[in-house]
Structure 1
Amino acid sequence: MTTKVSSSKTMAEQRRSNRSRHTKFHVFTTVCLIAIIFTYMFNTNTFVSNISFNFTPNTTIPFLSVNLLDNQTFIVNQLKSTSTLHNPVLIVKEVIVQKSVSEDDQNPLVPPINLTKKQRMSWFKNKLPEFDMLNSNQEFEIRAKEFFQDCNVRFFMTWISSPLRVFGKREFLAVDALFKSNPESCLMILSNVMDSDFGFQTLKPIIDRGFRVQALTPDLNFLFKNTPAKSWFDHIKNGNRDPGEIPLAQNLSNLIRLVVLYKFGGVYLDTDFIPLKDFSGLRNSIGAQSVNSLGNWTRLNNAVLIFDKNHPLLYKFIEEFALTFNGNRWGFNGPYLVSRVVEREATELESNFTVLPPLAFYPVDWTRIGGLFLRPVNQAHRKWAETKAAQIKESSYGIHLWNKQSRRFRIEEESIMARLISEHCVICKFFKKSQRLSHNSFSISS
């Protein structure tokens, strides 16, 4: 009996010992696996991009130039090899967050999904006071008038975004190319984010070369005053008009470009439009995006607008925006708006307004824009690229890059974009590892 009990105890101890060794083995295996995953994630930057830190979005990054903001591998390697940085992980997180924000999500006032119209209007009414750009900026009118003295052409861009959305190298390229072809002109960037130390540092390479560019927070009360935009703006702020599901920043940009041209006159350009020619010879024009077989336009676009101050067509655009605003249909308050107004008012506009052909501003359709960025794969492709680049250089005032479609592309060497940029940039920051493109890197066959 004693022997049997002793044997049972021995077996139980062996089982416990086996379980203990088994448990220790599992723990050891798990620790090793976690270590492997941790090492892999760190080396591929996944670890950094998945950690949440509290940081101030407006913090500047003085040691990083604009053309490096998208190069995560470079940034991590730089931080690993630099011992003087006080908080490198925080800086890396800031850059990665800035890169990861969608271009379509420029508006910090994006309502929750699945709200009813009434709920969305109430939500916006409560949130709008937090949107600092809606506050009055009494310095705007004075600063704008002072800035535009002695300008050959007044250019405008808008950059209405959350602090997490940086004015990147694609946008910088548009500014760079503008002053190559229009050196005596002035560019005002209407922006709630770029009117800051960060914005100044971003634009400083252009300013240091003597070109006139300034970011300024717009005063919407001043711009909308004595126009139909005022009533629309009041209804939005009071919660009596549905802003819709489309980001409010997009529709504000559609409206601001109209009112700023109405108040000052000049040229509006999207930040993904690359100018190639002098605009001083253009007046009261808009570009066709597409035409039919007879050459008649079928759709206009508002990415480029050239108008005199107080032009009556601009007033009709603003009026149409206020009366028919729909915040739930993409393009309804933008390209489709200018198209339907011009079609309706065509008979009264012939003497003081021009519709330019697609080749002027939209030489490549949005469905084919990726082809401009690719390196030729053979001799036939190379010859076509040279011919297309020469055609654009000869006949186009610029190229709209349809950034929603092309933002994932880098400009490859010998591509059409590379050929054009090599002759149409001042600072020439470029989309490749070297970050620069020599003016002599490419030639264009005539």
Structure 2
Amino acid sequence: MCDKLFDKGFIGRAIKFPVLSSISLVVLILIFYSDTILSTPPHHHLHKRNDFMGTQKVAERITQFSVQERIRELALLDGEYEVDPMIPPENVTKVERIKWFRKKLPELEILHSNNLTKQFHGRVLEFLNNGCSIQFYMVWLSPARFFGNRDFLAVDTLFKSHPQGCLMIISRTMDSRRGYRILKPLLDHGFKVLAVTPDLPFLVKNTPAESWLEGIKSGKRDPGYVPLSQNLCNLIRLSVLHRYGGVYLDTDMIILRDFSELRNSVGAQTVDPVSKKWITLNGAVMIFDINHPILLDFIEEFSSTFNGNRWGFNGPFLVTRVIGRVGSTPGYNVTVMPPEAFYPVNWLKIHRLFKKPESAAETRMVESTLNELNDGESGTFAVHLWNKRSKELKIEEGSVMARLILDHCVICQNIFT
């Protein structure tokens, strides 16, 4: 989910570590290694980055670093970082922002290929050659520690509807020990889920976005004041669908039905109340065949009209612009689903789904809403939770959201926390 990248309340602040005693450091290291031993994933490639961390080398390196530096290094081994390096400073001019961004470029690993990212394509092909009934993708560029219970529920409900499906989480931070621990309950149930570090230069190679990426990497292009992370999420989802085909999902979704019948589809967010024609589209759910031509149109639009100073311009508004312009091209066969398909609840009203009923009238409303959402004839495949509006809301027992999740989850862990 890209939304969590932009909450400066917890991403934009540095983690401050207290000074630890030598005893505390020993305890920390023991915990670190016990976690490694107890949760070693079956896929050895998850640990190639950390092979150098043998016990002897830990002892050698302790003498070289202060306590605070050592703790930070342990965190970074799991793909974590203290401050999102792609959030620009506030209240600066364009010239000052570009100057700041050029200094930050060496920190932005996601823009470059390395030994780990070069495994991306091979790992993707190996994973998708695994009897997948349907291919799903999510993108997670936040630290793994922020992949919370609500995000896990999205994955959980996905596998209730698609037990033979495959889910790939495109993420450097989830491709780690911490990420493996988060996903382990799903793996223990036999579900096919993999976190894989992306290779952005590979994904955009021979597409219009290749020159855009070179401009960013060289520091010649202004990334804008919108965190670059958000726009990289937009680009990665388009590029992954173009390369491999399948279904892209944001992580703030509750999946209710099998997607297998859907093809080359996006969902309308709003429609004209009179004409019933769509007004705006949303890219939180996108279903496309591999190499579908409109995906290149999306990527071309991203590259040629990129604006890092307007929220949503390179995301939902981009999808709206392109489909409005070329969506009816012969041979494209793009389907625009009605809001009921993925966005049945307006973002201004999403809070109502989290509240338990307090009266007979509210109880009847809960039952009516549940019947409507669960009715196969209603055409609702998923419910978008509008994370920016709902992430702080508690799921109350007896609410629409609580009962909806209980009807559509497999593991059903930590629903009310």
Shorter-chain TM band: 0.7 to 0.9
Q: CA deviation at 1:317?
A: 0.5
Q: Structure 1 pair 350/107, CA: closer, same or farther in 2 (3 Å)?
A: farther
**Equivalent residue, structure 1, for 2:97:** 120
Q: CA deviation at 1:229?
A: 1.1
Q: Distance in 1 between matches of 2:199 and 2:332?
A: 33
The superposition leaves residues 37-77 of structure 1 with CA deviations (integer Å, 9 ceiling, x where unpaired) of xxxxxxxxxxxx997526999996959xxxxxxxxxxxxxx
Aligned pairs for 1:212-227 within 5 A = 212-227=192-207
Q: CA deviation at 1:197?
A: 0.5
Bigger mean CA offset, 50-59 vs 252-261: 50-59
- Among 395, 400, 409, which residue is 1:411 paired with? 395
Q: Distance in 2 between matches of 1:262 and 1:403?
A: 26
Q: CA deviation at 1:348?
A: 1.0
State TM-score, norm by structure 1: 0.73
The superposition leaves residues 262-283 of structure 1 with CA deviations (integer Å, 9 ceiling, x where unpaired) of 0000000001011111111110
**Equivalent residue, structure 1, for 2:126:** 146
Query: Do 2:105 and 2:219's aligned partners in 1 also have CA atoms closer than 8 Å?
Result: no
Aligned pairs for 1:305-324 within 5 A = 305-324=286-305
| 1:379 equivalenced with 2:360 (yes/no) | yes
Q: Structure 1 pair 412/127, CA: closer, same or farther in 2 (3 Å)?
A: same
The superposition leaves residues 186-215 of structure 1 with CA deviations (integer Å, 9 ceiling, x where unpaired) of 000001110100000100000011000010
Q: CA deviation at 1:110?
A: 1.4
Query: Do 1:374 and 1:416's aligned partners in 2 also have CA atoms closer than 8 Å?
Result: yes
State TM-score, norm by structure 2: 0.78
**Equivalent residue, structure 2, for 1:198:** 178
Q: Distance in 1 between matches of 2:254 and 2:106?
A: 35
**Equivalent residue, structure 1, for 2:86:** 109
The superposition leaves residues 157-192 of structure 1 with CA deviations (integer Å, 9 ceiling, x where unpaired) of 0001246x5211111010101000011110000011
Query: Do 2:294 and 2:332's aligned partners in 1 also have CA atoms closer than 8 Å?
Result: no
Aligned pairs for 1:5-404 within 5 A = 52-53=17-18, 107-136=84-113, 137-149=117-129, 150-162=131-143, 165-293=145-273, 294-348=275-329, 352-394=333-375, 395=378, 396-404=380-388
Query: Do 2:268 and 2:336's aligned partners in 1 also have CA atoms closer than 8 Å?
Result: yes
Query: Do 1:177 and 1:275's aligned partners in 2 also have CA atoms closer than 8 Å?
Result: yes
- Report 1 or 2 for greater relative contact order, CA contacts < 8 Å, sequence distance ≥ 6: 2
Q: Distance in 2 between matches of 1:254 and 1:326?
A: 12
Runs (4+) of structure 1 exceeding 6 A deviation are 54-61
Query: Do 1:108 and 1:161's aligned partners in 2 also have CA atoms closer than 8 Å?
Result: no
> 3-state SS of the aligned residue for 2:328?
helix
Q: Which runs of 5+ in 1 are unaligned?
A: 1-48, 64-89, 98-104, 436-446
Q: CA deviation at 1:351?
A: 5.5
Q: CA deviation at 1:347?
A: 3.2
Query: Do 1:106 and 1:247's aligned partners in 2 also have CA atoms closer than 8 Å?
Result: no
> 3-state SS of the aligned residue for 1:347?
coil
Q: Structure 1 pair 106/272, CA: closer, same or farther in 2 (3 Å)?
A: farther
> 3-state SS of the aligned residue for 1:138?
helix
The superposition leaves residues 199-257 of structure 1 with CA deviations (integer Å, 9 ceiling, x where unpaired) of 00100000011000010110011101011111111101101111011111111001100
Aligned-pair Cα RMSD in Å: 2.7
Q: Which runs of 5+ in 2 are unaligned?
A: 1-13, 37-67, 76-81
Q: Distance in 2 between matches of 1:197 and 1:54?
A: 25
**Equivalent residue, structure 2, for 1:430:** 414
Q: Distance in 1 between matches of 2:388 and 2:142?
A: 16
Equivalenced residues, count? 347
Q: Distance in 2 between matches of 1:229 and 1:54?
A: 45
> 3-state SS of the aligned residue for 1:423?
helix
